[in-house]
């Protein structure tokens, strides 16, 4: 995908193209921002542009280098992703070995570490050695949606590029242009996507709009019959990734309650499709209780991401949540 086809990240792409034109590309980048906003796509496009034989600020899509990059078979563009929960140290050691050699075909050997925050301590320490001894023909691009999980020693050795959440109209345009979605449906999905194209695609695929309606119904019932909170556990899906994704939406909803409670501005809410429930529930909880719930949900997310027992964590979270007063 050429730079011009990446939605909503024009300023970030300008930074990368400027570095290419001036031939002052840093040895390591850190692309960070929420999930699903184009970090990995931009990293792949950047790697392809760095090795294009016909262009010095984008890629032509026609030369042998570009064709190999499109097929994911370019020997000088290496993608490293988590295997299971972590990026294993063997992958970082392999990266270290490869950095000792010059590019086989391209101008730069580019290593993309997707979800770099999922390195364990051993992997992170091994990568740090590579970052401390850069070479002129290697470029490392780390991507993460959780920059706070990366060691400061790694962050400080990378040129940071922050990717911003996309405007809802940009997400809707993507859905209309690429998936031929009905405009009204695209706007509804985009309003719930929190600025993320990736999440918009998940919402369309996983019926996350229905999940939010189900959650608001359970919490409304639990205000009258507190034991009904136990039904909340079943809404988070049957696997780790589904639970983490839905907990993220659940946490953002409480964030919306806090925003509305303080500002009374519906336009600032991330989840516009349940704005009425947000307004109603935000008046039934103290701000401190909303903050406690956000912390409780975040703790549950972290535990499940670390492979703790999903069912036990969700049950424990449910019993810790502060409930609404009578709604």
Taking CA atoms, 61 is separated from 10, 64, 103, in Å, by 20, 9, 20
Q: For residue 153, give every residue at least 6 positions away whose Cβ sits within 8 Å of its Cβ, in sequence order, or none.
A: 128
So what's the pLDDT on residue 326? 46
Q: How far is CA 48 from the centre of its chain?
A: 22
**May I ask the CATH class of domain 207-320?**
mainly alpha
Question: What predicted TM-score, i.e. pTM, was given to this entire model?
Answer: 0.76
Taking CA atoms, 85 is separated from 118, 134, 232, in Å, by 7, 28, 26
Cα distance between residue 143 and residue 31, in whole Å: 5
Choose the CATH number for 3-162 among 3.30.1370.60, 3.40.630.30, 3.40.50.300, 3.40.50.720: 3.40.50.300
User: What's the first-to-final CA gap in the chain, in angstroms?
Assistant: 49
Tokens 């983490």 correspond to 244
pLDDT per residue, tens digit, the chain (327 aa), is 678 789 999 999 999 999 999 889 999 999 999 989 999 999 999 999 999 988 767 788 889 999 999 899 999 999 999 987 889 899 999 999 999 889 998 889 999 999 999 998 899 999 998 998 888 899 999 999 999 999 999 999 999 999 999 998 999 999 999 989 888 888 888 887 888 999 888 877 766 778 888 888 998 888 778 888 889 998 998 888 889 888 988 998 999 999 999 999 988 888 888 889 999 899 888 999 999 999 999 999 999 988 889 999 999 999 999 887 644
């Amino acid at each position: 995908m050429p730079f011009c086809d990446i939605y909503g990240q024009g300023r970030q792409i300008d930074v990368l193209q400027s570095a290419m034109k001036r031939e002052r590309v840093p040895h390591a980048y850190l692309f960070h921002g929420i999930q699903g906003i184009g970090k990995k796509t931009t990293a792949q496009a950047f790697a392809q542009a760095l090795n294009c034989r016909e262009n010095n600020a984008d890629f032509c899509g026609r030369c042998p280098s570009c064709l190999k990059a499109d097929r994911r078979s370019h020997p000088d563009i290496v993608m490293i992703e988590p295997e299971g929960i972590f990026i294993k140290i063997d992958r970082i050691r392999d990266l270290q070995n490869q950095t000792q050699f010059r590019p086989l075909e391209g101008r730069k050997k580019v290593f993309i570490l997707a979800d770099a925050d999922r390195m364990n301590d051993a992997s992170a320490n091994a990568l740090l050695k590579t970052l401390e001894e850069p070479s002129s023909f290697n470029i490392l691009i780390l991507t993460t949606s959780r920059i706070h999980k990366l060691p400061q020693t790694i962050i400080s050795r990378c040129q940071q590029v922050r990717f911003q959440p996309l405007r809802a109209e940009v997400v809707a345009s993507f859905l209309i242009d690429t998936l031929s979605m009905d405009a009204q449906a695209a706007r509804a999905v985009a309003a719930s996507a929190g600025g993320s194209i990736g999440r918009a695609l998940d919402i369309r695929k996983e019926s996350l709009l229905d999940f939010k309606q189900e959650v608001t119904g359970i919490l409304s019932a639990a205000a009258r019959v507190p034991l009904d909170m136990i039904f909340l556990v079943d809404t988070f899906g049957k696997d780790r990734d589904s639970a983490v994704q839905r907990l993220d939406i659940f946490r953002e909803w409480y964030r919306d309650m806090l925003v509305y409670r303080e500002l009374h501005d519906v336009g600032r809410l991330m989840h516009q499709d349940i704005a009425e429930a947000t307004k109603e529930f935000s008046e039934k909880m103290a701000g401190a209780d909303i903050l406690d719930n956000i912390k409780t949900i975040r703790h549950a997310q972290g535990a499940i991401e670390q492979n703790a027992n999903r069912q036990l964590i969700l049950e424990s979270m449910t019993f810790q949540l502060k409930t609404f007063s009578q709604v």
